[in-house]
Amino acid sequence: MCDTLAIVANWREDNTTYFAKNSDRSANEPHLILRVPGGYHEPDSLVRCTYISIPQVEYTRETILYKPSWIWGAEMGINENRVVIGNEAVFTKAKKGDPSLIGMDILRLALERADTATSAVEVMISLLETYGQGGNCGYDKEFYYDNSFLAADPREAYVLETSGKKYAVLKIEDKYAISNRLSIGRNHYEQGGVKPGEDFAKRYTEPVYSHFSAAKQRRSQAMEGLCPTTGAAQLMEKLRTHEKGFAGHEFERGSVASVCMHAGGLVGDQTTGSMIAVLRPSKPVTLWSTGCSTPCISAFKPVFWNSDSPPVFTDPASSLDYWLKREHIHRAIIAGKIDAHALRDRIHELEADWLRQEEQIMNTDTVDDTELIELSATANKQEQALIDEFYVQDWQNIPGRNRYARYWKHKNEKLLDRGQDKGTVHLS
């Protein structure tokens, strides 16, 4: 489960594209942020994806990937050409395919091979037509689905939705959000295996899973209030949105119908990582990144392409440690050991200062990369000090005997016992 949204440059006075995404995965599934260098490759070489190997291209671009720890691909990411992509699980009438490329593999391959949002869509379509899609995407369960994608660059953005090898493409004119159900109707300008003018969502949506994913409610939350003046601060709050009546109960029960998804009881997924990309036409990109779960109690830190501060890492083990320590904070809040309101207040104070400093730097005629690097490093130190201040060792003892408490007791036992095999990832 996930939610992805974008506001495109030509709808805004500042001519800037905004992209935001929550990655919703299994509660114990680590979410890593990794910088992967680009480079040239030998002719006839192969690249090993999650389940299959495919021919490698001559040159792959440097990327920053936001990814499940055990999967080769990524939930969202950006490349050196300022192309950003996010994917969504969608439930369709297509038959389950054999293990092949999964949506997260297709996303990473497109980032490595494309220099614009348009070419990213072309790459993803080519991969889909050549290899199809299929394979288990569940961390601790069997979970199969098709995919939708939102690809953006500083000039434009597109939605690609799929059902097996069939697909439809929509160009975003102002704002758009995708969630865990097909959304493109008859307004697709490009399609494969689909009649022109055919209602793609109506024809290929699997209704039961799509309904119980609560994607319709979350997409409505994501779209509500988006306007030409929506900026990074508003998108942070958008990714922290809870369904009506859920605020104040975030650590008492689960909610699949919240953009900020909370696991527990019958709800098996939670938001494991969040990202906002500010894609300016002629100035550096800002990536506001949590590097951890549950954005309503996590800080969005400013990250820039040339900065080397956490939450971006080159080493998967370090990224895993970073995610786990912050996940312990989340579990301690559920256990009643940390005051969530006090933590949120401190986070909002830090974010307000980082947003102010970032705006000041970006509003200069010539942006000083050194100032951006210093801001990223300072933000990392301030957030780390906050984590160290609030951290408690007794995070795993969840009180109570109801279904919600039993869920988290079980998850904590698994988190303590988990091996490190799924905490690493093959980067080549």
The residues assigned a catalytic role are 2
- From the number of C-beta atoms within 10 Å of its C-beta (0-12, 13-18, 19+), residue 422 rates as middle
Neighbours of 344 (CB within 10 A): 15
| Distance between CA atoms of residues 356 and 88, nearest Å | 32
- From the number of C-beta atoms within 10 Å of its C-beta (0-12, 13-18, 19+), residue 168 rates as buried
Cβ–Cβ under 8 Å, residues 317 and 306: no
| Distance between CA atoms of residues 191 and 197, nearest Å | 10
Cβ–Cβ under 8 Å, residues 375 and 302: yes
DSSP assignment of 18-59, as one string? Answer: EEEEEEEEETT--EEEEEE--EE--TT-EEE-SS-EEEPPSE
Cβ–Cβ under 8 Å, residues 28 and 414: yes
C-alpha radius of gyration, the chain, whole number = 20
Identify the helix (H) or strand (E) that includes residue 388.
helix 369-390
The pair of structure tokens assigned to 322 is 């970073």
| Distance between CA atoms of residues 415 and 22, nearest Å | 22
Helices (H) and strands (E) in the chain, counts: 10, 18
Half-sphere exposure of 15 (CA within 13 A, CB side): 4
